Amino acid sequence: MQRRSFLKSGLASGALVTVAGALSTPAVSQDRREWRLTHAYPKGYPIFGEAPQLIADYVKRASDGRLTIQVFGAGEIVPAFEAMDATESGTTEMGYGTSYFWAGKEPALKFITGMPFGLTAQEQNGWFAAGGREICQKVYDRLGVKFFVAGNSGAQMGGWFNREIDSLNDFSGLKMRIPGLGGEVIKAVGATVVNLPGGELLPAMQTGTINALEWIGPYSDLAFGFHQVAKYYYYPGWQEPSGIFDLFVNRQAWEGLPDDLKAMIETASVAANAFVLDQLAARHPAALRTLVDDHGVELRRFSDDTLTGLAKASGEVINDMASQDALSRELLDSILSFRENATAFTGVAEQAVLQARSLDYAYPKAGGG
């Protein structure tokens, strides 16, 4: 028995070493891929810089190192808004950001990130599952990349202002950082839009290049320190009831992957999508408390009149923009069809239970109080 297993193991390791010795160099290099990903956020920026790293870490671990992805922040290979160019051209195999950053390439991209008075995160994920994903891929096909949903901001805040906004008229004269469709709506009601990457917003507020901004929500906004340069924090984030982040892969690089690595990237993007929303849901609540209790930030709600005016302007802007090209129209119609039933369902589900939870009743506190 002993001799037999010794022989067997000797045969095994010896033979394998020989074969591996003869073949190792080409086989290993053929089977190991080193990719690069460039994203649109400062290197290591909490959550949005971490999400692409999560994808890289997971793929490396699940593939046992057969696919490694080196993650670069804005400015390391290309500037923030050129992540799509780099991926289209094959400078990097992958990129990460959000679709309105490259809407100059294809107008329909503006409708993918999110829409004023549009879908919530849960509804948007539902729309993707109900066929939205395929329509989005049609848009990204024009850029030569494979598209994955890989992050969602959830409901955002309305933004930071130096003065109170009492009516729609108060938007007149604002110089506001507010990208995407929200920016188009703000223009329609008299404001000027100045779009800058996140890392440039604090100095822009300090120098007066802008005098209002919206970024994401309490945790992300606290990290940038916007409470140092603006007093009023408005809600709700009518401009983005949710906002998605995309992972995109150079088409040729994607086609060259074996199926197991494709499966890993597909599933890693789902995990990144959850990661962003979960981490924000984990951190926003305490950050909101810090902003209000420790930094004296004043929370303000836009009035119903202001919101109704913004909603009307949003509808007009969206409809006009979609009418300019067929793909935008197809995409918008798909979102609007879904939105009609989704608002009815959310009205009796999420929205109704949140309203019920807000009623006046005694409920226990931590510690049994």
68: contact with its own copies by CB under 8 A: no
Q: Among 36, 218, 244, 250, which residue interacts with its own copies (rule: CB under 8 A)?
A: 218
Distance between CA atoms of 262 and 260, rounded to whole angstroms? 5
- Residue 253 burial by Cβ neighbours in a 10 Å radius (0-12, 13-18, 19+): middle
Q: Among 128, 148, 160, 224, which residue interacts with its own copies (rule: CB under 8 A)?
A: 128
CB of 236 to its own copies, least distance (A): 4
Give which of 265, 345, 284 is closest to 93, Cα–Cα: 265
284: contact with its own copies by CB under 8 A: yes
285: contact with its own copies by CB under 8 A: yes
How many other CB atoms are there within 10 angstroms of residue 315's CB atom? 14
363: contact with its own copies by CB under 8 A: yes
Q: Go through 183-199 and write b for each residue having 16 or more CB atoms within 10 A of its CB, e for each that does not.
A: bbbbbbbebebbebbbb
- Residue 151 burial by Cβ neighbours in a 10 Å radius (0-12, 13-18, 19+): buried
Residue 127 amino acid letter: W
Give which of 56, 59, 49, 87 is closest to 263, Cα–Cα: 59
281: contact with its own copies by CB under 8 A: yes
Q: Among 169, 206, 323, 324, which residue interacts with its own copies (rule: CB under 8 A)?
A: 323
**Stretch of 68-76, 203-211, 249-257, 359-367 lying at the interface with its own copies (CB under 8 A):** 359-367
Q: Among 1, 30, 208, 368, which residue interacts with its own copies (rule: CB under 8 A)?
A: 368
Q: Among 32, 289, 295, 324, which residue interacts with its own copies (rule: CB under 8 A)?
A: 289
End-to-end CA distance of the chain: 69
What is the contact mask toward its own copies in residues 25 to 64, using x (rule: CB under 8 A)? --x------------------------------x--xxxx
Q: Which CB atom, from 173 or from 353, has the smaller least distance to its own copies?
A: 353
Torsion angle (degrees, nearest 10) of CA 311, 316, 318, 321: -160
324: contact with its own copies by CB under 8 A: no
Q: Which CB atom, from 97 or from 116, has the smaller least distance to its own copies?
A: 116
Give which of 84, 79, 72 is closest to 44, Cα–Cα: 72
Torsion angle (degrees, nearest 10) of CA 81, 85, 88, 90: -110
What is the contact mask toward its own copies in residues 135 to 174, using x (rule: CB under 8 A)? -------------------xxxx-----------------
CB of 284 to its own copies, least distance (A): 5
CB of 138 to its own copies, least distance (A): 17
327: contact with its own copies by CB under 8 A: no
Residues 71-100 binding its own copies (CB under 8 A) are: none
Residue 270 amino acid letter: V
236: contact with its own copies by CB under 8 A: yes
